[in-house]
A and B are shown apart, each in its own frame.
Chain A
Amino acid sequence: MKEYRNKAFVLLALFLILTFESEGKPSISKGQIAEPAFNHQGDLIYIYNNTEEKISLETLKFQTKESFSLTIPLGEKSRSPIIKKDRKGQIWVVWEEWEADRSSIFLGQLKENKIIHSQLIYEAEGINICPDLSFDSNDNPWIVWINYKGRQYKVFVRESISRNIWLINFPLLSSAFNPQIITDLQDHVWVFWSGRDNKNEEIYYRVFNQYDWTPLNTINLQSNFPQINPTITLDGKGFIWLAWSGYDGKDYEIYCKFWNGKEWSKIIGITDNSKKDDSFPCISIVSDDIPIIAWTQSGGEGSQVCIKYSENNSWSEEIKISPKRGQNIFPKIVVERERIGIIWLSQNEIESELILFHQLKEKKPPDESFFKIHIIYNPSLNEDKYIGFGDSITYGYIYYEEAPEKGYIPRLEILLDQNFGDTEVVNEGWPGEITQNGLARIDKVIGNHMARYLLLMEGTNDVVFKRISMDTTAFNLEQMVKRCIDFGLFPALATIIPRNDWRWHREFFRDRIFYLNDRIRELASNLPIPLVDQFNLFYSYPEEEGGWESLLSDYNHPNEEGYQLMAEEWFEEIKNFPFPPKYVQVQRVYNEILFYRELGNYISWLDNPKIYDKNMIKGYKIYRKKINDGNDQFQLLNIIYDQLNYFDKDIRPSDQCVYVVSTLRFDQVEGPCSEPIKDH
């Protein structure tokens, strides 16, 4: 008996110890985007896999643009959540639940930021992925997903209530991706996916007419090139709109067609270009009858999210939605009446835009020629040299007398010397100059001095001349800024100060000053470059200390106190310039874990010691070109946050590359590039 007891003890102990073993968590991709939706309050919500491998729900207030994030209590192995709203406005979630080598599909309702009534949809062996859902007229959920097992991709559809499950892509099981499901006004269930029948990928679909499924159909392109990424929506008449990405022999373009209740329309080409790849479309409908498509447009400089809409049978121009270059991909669009919410993935972060349709229509296509400037790069410029560019206020006038030694330029130079060491500030103020003159001489000025920074404050004299519109002045200032950037200078812009002559008391002239300053602020924000609001500095000067008039020596020019304040205001902004990173180094190294290694260039740098407040640094932009390429060939590699290094693994061993790094502020102001560093 004792023997048996001993044996039992041994086995029990072994069993207990065995169950102690724990496995590592499966890795989850960072920031996967789900479908967005508008909640009852009209705020944009979306669910995604966050970087801590959990599911987060983000709520973005439409009015205030405030956002709130909270973690949804789903299992740690939940992935790819999709949210959809039924006809009553209830939000549903469908997601994948991963185990070691299999995954299941689950469905639940999102209520008060919790998942309720969750149910297992499909648990057969293999991997079940890419779920999508739609609702019939009774708000019964219909779910589609892909089951992958034994090298076969099966598209399954399940009616949630009846628990009926159909395999709908037989016999074309060799490939199936991106299944999309939608129910039309007749309660017909449409399912689309991209699949392959020995040739290229094509868009397939089948329709469930409440009794049976129609035969397997294609959108009948018979193309020699792949057609992928289907996306569907329903317009106010109940017509199905389908958009997708297809290769045209040169690159990917966006196409669309719609079902008018009897037949498909002809294919509508949404894009037609030869050097940009257009992909990952997402379609929705504004105000019941205006189709709107968002997609990713990729070129040599990165990718941007673009939008087009069709009004009165005419498609709009492309509207760029993503605010910056870099990788902006996988846009998702959701519309509720006139409200449009767009989310996309940008450098592993999810970005969003909330806009009303009429605001979208007012968006002008960006000036592409300017965006091609990209970087502020000229390694031959002097980092410790500044140019003060402007009119008599920059030159230094007091009581209408020349006083350059008492202006803001020498005062600023003292401040810079004290804080940054030996610094030169060149006085390029020309008394009486209007911006048109400034535009004419700026090239020569920047070429002569070879300074890294230019402080631009001009326009006071333009205000006087009624024949010069303030839009022209703003344009001239913009051109001066662009020429600086072209040359590799980093410009900062200032508003013009108030004047105390008779013109100030005439509404016409006063409004010109206000309007020009508004344009200058807008210009600085759009370009974007640093802004020094000298007008605001003066105008808000306390009345008890004499008010802004007390800072002027004559009608137009500051007195010494005014110049001192101006110098200090310039310095406050210069302290926050995104100075280029220092000590940039590059090494060709292996990035290793124990059983794997990859060759790449490891670029490291340090913050420029001139930067006072490091909290204003959002990140760093890394650019690369091949050693024999021209300076205009630098391409953005990545934007790095919270670290001072980057591993570039996208190289060939024989490549010889040059890197530069720039500092990026939270307000998107990008500084000049660092010294170029070669990788050999």
Chain B
Amino acid sequence: MFRANKRSLNGEYRRDFFKFLIVIILFLSIPEGLIAYPEHQSPIGLEEIYYKKRLKNESEGITFERTKNTFIKIFLGIYNIQDNRFKKIYEGQGYISGFGLSKKVYNYNHHNLFLSLDFRFFSKKGKSTYTREDTKLILKPISLGGVYMFVTKGIIPFAEIGSDYYSYKEKSLLHSTSGTAWGFHLKGGILIPSKILRSLKLKLFIGYSKAKTINNNLEVNLGGTEYGVGIVYGFDLF
């Protein structure tokens, strides 16, 4: 049987894919020492204090766990949009999936600072409030955040704050809409290293976000609470 379903990576998807690739490459190009001092140079000010303290630690044989400078992650979570109208139409929470990259930009002893770039996808089906017509909401948030990580040999706690760019689309026979919104997010969680492969870590996280937008004179907060699980793989890049 013939099926004319040839929607592959062509047209708009090809263009989107190349844009996406450029962003990833730029992100990965961030050097580890973007805001950290280079180890072979003498720092000044506050960093000089840290530098001296580190030299002292090293002379006393105290070492600190060091993470890889790049993380790649995939995750799956439950996303609970807080907007009351969303709850009425889409009835509760839905799954959010995604992937992301984190690049270390600073570290001192246990303290590490990463830049994180996440791409997520959320889709949920609902029904209009009275006529019960099918409707579908698709969210594609892109998040850029700063992540603080307290690195230990065991569980690694982290906290993140950042900004989100939501691309949304609502499809229904009633009306179809698309648009974008800006927001922010707060996130926290832990990374649990694998005993077999230390570069691999299990990620548990919770988060909160807010992203208000107005479309067709209706204000909607696309943000909400989120919790989930992911797998993180670390490696050194550049």
Q: Give which listed residue, B9, B130, B135, B236, contacts A647 with CB less than 8 A.
A: B130
Q: Provide the bound-state CA to CA distance between A100 and B7, in Å.
A: 8
For A100, the chain B residues whose CB sits under 8 A away are: 7, 11-12
User: Among A6-14, A339-347, A548-556, which stretch is in contact with chain B?
Assistant: A6-14
Contact, CB under 8 Å: B130 / A17: no
Q: Which residues of B contact A104 (CB under 8 A)?
A: 4
Contact at B171–A24, with CB atoms within 8 Å? yes
Once the chains bind, are B1 and A73 in contact (CB under 8 Å)?
yes
Nearest Cβ on chain B to A72's Cβ, whole angstroms: 10
> Is the CB of A75 closer than 8 A to any CB of chain B?
yes
B1 and A593 within 8 A (CB): no
Complex Cα–Cα for A82 and B137 (A): 33
**A590 on the B face (CB < 8 A):** yes
Assess the A592–B1 pair: CB atoms within 8 A.
no
Chain A, residue nearest B131 (CB): A647
Centre residue among A17, A20, A600 by max chain B CB count within 10 A: A17
A76 to B136, CA, bound (A): 18
CB pair B130 A595 closer than 8 Å: no
Tell me the minimal C-beta distance from B237 to chain A in angstroms. 6
Main SS class of interface, A: mixed
Please determine whether B5 and A75 come into contact, CB atoms closer than 8 angstroms.
yes
Q: How far is the CA of A23 from the CA of B11 in the complex (A)?
A: 15
Q: How far is the CB of A81 from chain B (nearest CB, A)?
A: 13
Which residues of A sit under 8 angstroms from B6, Cβ to Cβ? 99
B43-96 residues at the A interface, CB under 8 angstroms: 70, 72, 74, 83, 85-86, 88-90
Residues of A within 8 A of B172 (CB): 27, 593, 596
When the two chains form their complex, are residues B2 and A118 in contact, meaning their CB atoms are under 8 A apart? yes
| Residue tally, chain A, CB below 8 Å to B | 45
Chain A residues near B70: list those with CB within 8 A. Answer: 6, 10
Confirm or deny: A645 has a beta carbon within 8 angstroms of a beta carbon on chain B: yes
B170 contacts A594, C-beta separation under 8 Å: yes
B1, B5, B83, B216: which contacts A596 (Cβ < 8 A)? B216
Contacts known (A593-B135, A596-B177, A596-B216); A10 close to B128, Cβ less than 8 A: no
The size bracket of the interface on B is 35 or more
B131→A591 contact, CB < 8 A? yes
- Known contacts A75-B4, A75-B5; decide if A597 and B72 are in contact (CB<8 Å): no
Query: Is B220's CB within 8 Å of the partner chain A?
Result: yes
B155 interface residue (CB < 8 Å to A): no
In the assembled complex, the Cα of A73 lies from the Cα of B4 at a distance in Å of 12
A115 touches which of B2, B97, B135, B236 (Cβ 8 Å) = B2
Q: A592-B89, A594-B220 are in contact. Are A13 and B4 (CB under 8 A)?
A: no
CB within 8 Å for A13 and B218 given contacts A6-B237, A7-B237: no
B230 within 8 A of partner (CB): no
A225 within 8 A of B: no
The 22 sampled A-B contact pairs (Cβ below 8 Å) are A6-B235, A13-B72, A22-B123, A24-B136, A27-B171, A27-B173, A75-B5, A115-B1, A589-B130, A590-B129, A591-B128, A592-B88, A593-B170, A593-B172, A593-B175, A594-B86, A594-B137, A595-B179, A595-B216, A596-B174, A600-B130, A645-B130
User: Hey, which bits of chain A sit against chain B, CB under 8 A?
Assistant: 3, 6-7, 9-11, 13-14, 17-24, 27, 73, 75-77, 97, 99-100, 104, 106, 108, 114-115, 118, 120, 589-598, 600, 602, 645, 647
7 closest cross-chain pairs (CB), A and B:
A596-B175, A595-B177, A591-B130, A97-B4, A118-B2, A593-B135, A647-B131
B binding-site residues for A, Cβ under 8 Å:
1-7, 9, 11-12, 17, 20-21, 24, 28, 70, 72, 74, 83, 85-86, 88-90, 97, 99, 101, 121, 123, 126, 128-131, 133, 135-138, 170-177, 179, 215-216, 218, 220, 235-238
